[in-house]
Structure 1
Amino acid sequence: MSDRLIRAICRNAEIKFTAVCTTETVERARQIHKTLPLATAALGRTLSAASMMGRELKDKNGSVTIQIKGNGPLGAITTIGDCDGCVRGYLQNPAAELPLLPNGHLDVGSGVGRGYLMVIKDIGVGEPFTGTTALHNGEIAEDITKYFAESEQVPSAVALGVLVDTDQHVKQAGGYIVQLMPGATDEDITRLENNIAKAGAMTAMLESGMSLEDIAHAVLDGFEVEFLEEAPVTYRCGCNHAKVTRALISLGKDELTRLRDEEEGIEVTCQFCDKVYKMTRDDIAVMLEAATAKEENNG
């Protein structure tokens, strides 16, 4: 089944719901970045969150960037979700490993460690909105729940999961975000909390064969669910030669002069998809001319 995202609301309560299946997307990220299971789980959870949060944006050029910077062995994690729900991302140490927890689960919390989570929402115009919170426990779902409460003042429940098979490929991945809007009653909150506890882990639901719609009905049991939309999700990097060239020009005249004089050519690797762009000395000279003209015009 191809990856997809759904959004829903409750007609008889102030609740909205988003869920995503990202199994193929996270497997693609694993293949690109050659992640071991701990890194696969951490990156996959963050990709799922970015997909759902990106889809919430109304602007067609909008995107959500999630940056997690903890002191654990995984290092920094960065993911970007576009407004259509498609994502890309990378993490600092894809080969990090830790012993399994006593319950046999991957120790993502220790892998991430303590630090902070930053969310950058860019709608394509004006200054992006940035919210930062301290990491709660490094498990990512709880950290994003904390972000929603502290930075956006929206009571939320976030579930994220990645099930890695014995051969290290991704067996299941996905997540959901359920949020309370102003007007939600104490009765609604209690029912929702009971439903979430009863539903269990996201990957367990996916592994049992439940569709995203089934998961929505389980989490929102007792509410009148109205499905608003569904959309395909995939791992997508928008890098190209022109963007890499602009990035190199931004290095400035002095650095480009050094590269032209000291290097026969350079290779630039995209952090999101590992594609390699080769630039010759002549290419660098052309970029140097552009950087020089830009600095003169700005001066």
Structure 2
Amino acid sequence: MKDYIVRATAADGQIRAFAATTRECVETARVHHGTSPVATAALGRLLTAGAIMGSMMKNEGDMLTLQVRGDGPIEGLTVTADSKGNVKGYAGNPDVMLPPKNGKLDVGGAVGIGLLQVIKDMGLKEPYSGQTILVTSEIAEDLTYYFANSEQVPSSVGLGVLMEKDNTVRCAGGFIIQLMPFATEEVICKLEENLKDVTSVTALLDQGYTPEQLLEALLGDLGLEITDTIPTQFYCNCSKERVERAVASVGKKEIQEMIQEGKDIEVKCHFCNTAYQYTVEDLNRIIKNSR
């Protein structure tokens, strides 16, 4: 099944909802970065949230960045997404290994105590930036807390990544459900009841639930209406030219030193781990062009 996001409403517009399946996206990230199982789970949850939150943005050029900065051994996570379902990201330490906790991958232990930052660049003079503490460091609960505190939108976030025995991704996905300001007490209570019944997103995904079925399980008795579907994918727009600009920004003195060493250099893109080679001739050209 290809990765995609569904957008929906329920209870006559009192609820807006999003759900996604992201197995291919998370598996692509795992292959690019060679992530350990716990790093795959942590990054996969944030990639899923990023893809969904990106699809919430209105304009074509809008960009979203999610940063998780904790004191755990994963050394932080960064994800960026656009409004068209493209998402990319990386873990500071992709090799982190931890023993399981209560039979599950210890994402909270890998992330540690710290902060979640959400940056939305909507083409205004200054990007919007909201920051909250990590309440559990399990990603979904932290985003639920972020929405309530930074955006004043009561939300429920569920995210899951399940690994195979060979450490490839078995399934991944999640949902974000939000209450509109005019939601009635009756709708709020019904939604809370429904959410109590869904204890594990991962279990539902493993049973083969589609994004539509996830929302049906949560909102089926509240007049669920699917409004549209968009594809989502792990996609990095880096190129040799783009990375060259980063090389140029290190400064002429440093580039001159590299040239004097007479060795080619390799620069990797953080987001997709693609390696770009620059010869001494390339470095000479970069210096010449930056004058």
Instruction: Output the TM-score relative to the length of structure 2.
Output: 0.96
Alignment-derived partner of residue 226 in structure 2: 227
Alignment-derived partner of residue 111 in structure 1: 110
Alignment-derived partner of residue 174 in structure 2: 175
Alignment-derived partner of residue 237 in structure 2: 238
- Alignment partner of 1:274 is 2:273: yes
Alignment-derived partner of residue 20 in structure 2: 20
Residue type of the alignment partner of 1:31: V
User: For residues 234 and 14 of structure 2, what CA distance do their matches in structure 1 show?
Assistant: 32
User: For residues 227 and 80 of structure 2, what CA distance do their matches in structure 1 show?
Assistant: 23
Alignment-derived partner of residue 296 in structure 1: none
Alignment-derived partner of residue 297 in structure 1: none
- Alignment partner of 1:42 is 2:59: no
Alignment-derived partner of residue 289 in structure 2: 290
User: For residues 167 and 264 of structure 1, what CA distance do their matches in structure 2 show?
Assistant: 39
- Alignment partner of 1:98 is 2:93: no
CA deviation profile, 1:141-164 (whole Å, cap 9, x unmatched): 011111111111111110011011
> What is the Cα deviation at residue 275 of structure 1?
1.2
Gaps (5+ residues) in structure 1? Answer: 293-299
User: For residues 248 and 94 of structure 1, what CA distance do their matches in structure 2 show?
Assistant: 24
Residue type of the alignment partner of 1:2: K
User: For residues 38 and 278 of structure 1, what CA distance do their matches in structure 2 show?
Assistant: 31
> What is the Cα deviation at residue 198 of structure 1?
1.0
Alignment-derived partner of residue 61 in structure 1: 61
Alignment-derived partner of residue 4 in structure 1: 4
> What is the Cα deviation at residue 13 of structure 1?
4.5
Partner SS state of residue 257, structure 2: helix
Alignment-derived partner of residue 246 in structure 2: 247
* Aligned counterparts, 1:67-216, within 5 A: 67-102=67-102, 104-216=103-215
> What is the Cα deviation at residue 88 of structure 1?
0.8
CA deviation profile, 1:54-83 (whole Å, cap 9, x unmatched): 111112122211110111111111111111
Instruction: Output the TM-score relative to the length of structure 1.
Output: 0.93
User: For residues 99 and 241 of structure 1, what CA distance do their matches in structure 2 show?
Assistant: 39
> What is the Cα deviation at residue 256 of structure 1?
2.4
> What is the Cα deviation at residue 89 of structure 1?
0.8
> What is the Cα deviation at residue 124 of structure 1?
3.7
How many pairs are equivalent?
291
Gaps (5+ residues) in structure 2? Answer: none
- CA, structure 1 residues 215+14, in 2 after alignment: closer, same or farther (shift >3 Å)? same
Runs of 4+ in structure 1 deviating by more than 6 angstroms, as ranges, are none
Partner SS state of residue 234, structure 2: coil
> What is the Cα deviation at residue 37 of structure 1?
1.0
User: For residues 250 and 78 of structure 1, what CA distance do their matches in structure 2 show?
Assistant: 21
